[in-house]
Amino acid sequence: MIWVDTILQGVLLGGLYALFAAGLSLVFGIMRLVNLAHGDLIVFGAYLILIVVSVLGLHPFLAAFIAAPVMFVFGWVLQKAVLNRTLGDDILPPLLVTFGLSIVIQNGLLEAFSADSQRISMGPLETASVSIGPISAGVLPLLTFGSAVLVIVALNRLFYRTAIGRAFRATSDDPTTASLMGIRPDRVFATATAIAMLVVTIAALYLGTRANFDPNVGPARLIYAFEAVIIGGLGSLWGTLAGGIIIGVAQTVGAAINPEWQILAGHVAFLVVLLVRPRGLFPRGN
Amino acid sequence: MVLLETHGLTARYGDFQALFGVDARLEAGETVAIIGANGAGKTTLMRSITGVLRNAAEQIRHKGVEIGHLPADTIMKRGIAMVPEGRKLFPSLSVEENLIIGGQNKRGRDLGDRIDSMIARLTGAPDPMELSAGHDGVGYWTLETIYDLFPILKERRHSPGTALSGGQQQMVAIGRALMSNPDVLLCDEISLGLAPVVIRDIYAALPKIRESGASVIVVEQDIGQAMAVADRVYCMMEGRVTLQGRPSDISRDDIHAAYFGEAA
Ligand SMILES: Nc1ncnc2c1ncn2[C@@H]1O[C@H](COP(=O)(O)OP(=O)(O)OP(=O)(O)O)[C@@H](O)[C@H]1O
Ligand SMILES: [Mg+2]
Q: Is the CB of B13 under 6 A from ligand 1?
A: yes
Give the residues across from B232 on adjacent strands: B32
Return d(Cα B33, Cα B37) in angstroms, integer. Answer: 13
Residue having the nearest C-alpha atom to atom 26 of ligand 1: B38
Residue B252 pLDDT:
82
Looking only at the bridges linking them, the beta strands covering B184-188 and B80-83 are: parallel
Return d(Cα B170, Cα A223) in angstroms, integer. Answer: 44
CB atoms within 10 A of CB A182: 28
Q: Is the CB of B49 under 6 A from ligand 1?
A: no
Residue B108 pLDDT:
65
Residues of chain A positioned with their CB less than 8 A from the CB of B176? 181
CATH of the domain at B46: 3.40.50.300
Residue having the nearest C-alpha atom to atom 5 of ligand 1: B13
Residue B139 pLDDT:
84
Structure-model confidence comparison of residues A2 and B8, the more confident one: B8
Q: Which of A209, A261, A277, A227 is nearest to A14 (CA)?
A: A227
Residue B264 pLDDT:
47
User: Tell me: the pLDDT tens digits for A218-227?
Assistant: 998 899 999 9
Residue B262 pLDDT:
67
Question: Given CB atoms, is B143 within the 8 Å cutoff of chain A?
Answer: no
Q: Is the CB of B86 under 6 A from ligand 1?
A: no
Ligand 1 nearest atom to the CA of residue B46, by list position: 18
* Full pLDDT tens readout for chain B, 264 residues: 899 999 999 999 999 999 999 999 999 999 999 999 999 999 999 999 999 999 999 999 999 999 999 999 999 999 999 999 999 999 999 999 999 999 988 776 777 778 888 888 888 888 878 888 778 788 899 999 999 999 999 999 999 988 999 999 999 999 999 999 999 999 999 998 899 999 999 999 999 999 999 999 999 988 888 899 999 999 999 999 999 999 888 888 888 888 887 654
Dihedral over Cα of A72, A61, A154, A232: its sign: positive
CB A41 within 8 A of CB A213: no
Res A286 pLDDT > 50: no
The alpha carbon of residue B264 is apart from the nearest alpha carbon of chain A, in Å, by 37
Q: Which of B244, B214, B156, B255 is nearest to B30 (CA)?
A: B214
Inter-chain CB proximity A191 and B112 less than 8 Å: yes
The alpha carbon of residue A42 is apart from the nearest alpha carbon of chain B, in Å, by 26
User: Tell me: the pLDDT tens digits for B44-55?
Assistant: 999 999 999 999
User: Residue A2 — very low, low, confident or very high, per pLDDT cuts 50/70/90?
Assistant: confident
Structural domains of chain B, count:
1
User: Tell me: the pLDDT tens digits for A192-215?
Assistant: 999 999 999 999 999 999 989 999
Supply angle C-alpha A140, A146, A150, rounded to 5.
140
CB A147 within 8 A of CB A15: yes
Q: Which residues constitute the domain of residue B191? A: 2-260
Residues of chain A positioned with their CB less than 8 A from the CB of B14? none
Structure-model confidence comparison of residues A3 and A45, the more confident one: A45
Averaged pLDDT for residues A68-97? 94
Helices (H), B179-241: 196-203, 206-211, 223-229
User: Tell me: the pLDDT tens digits for A223-251?
Assistant: 999 999 999 988 789 999 999 999 999 99
Residue B253 pLDDT:
82
Interval between CA B18 and ligand 1 midpoint (Å): 7
B24 to A105, A116, B232: CA distances (angstroms): 54, 69, 11
Residue A10 pLDDT:
94
Give the residues across from B188 on adjacent strands: B219
User: Tell me: the pLDDT tens digits for A37-70?
Assistant: 999 999 999 999 999 999 999 999 999 999 999 9
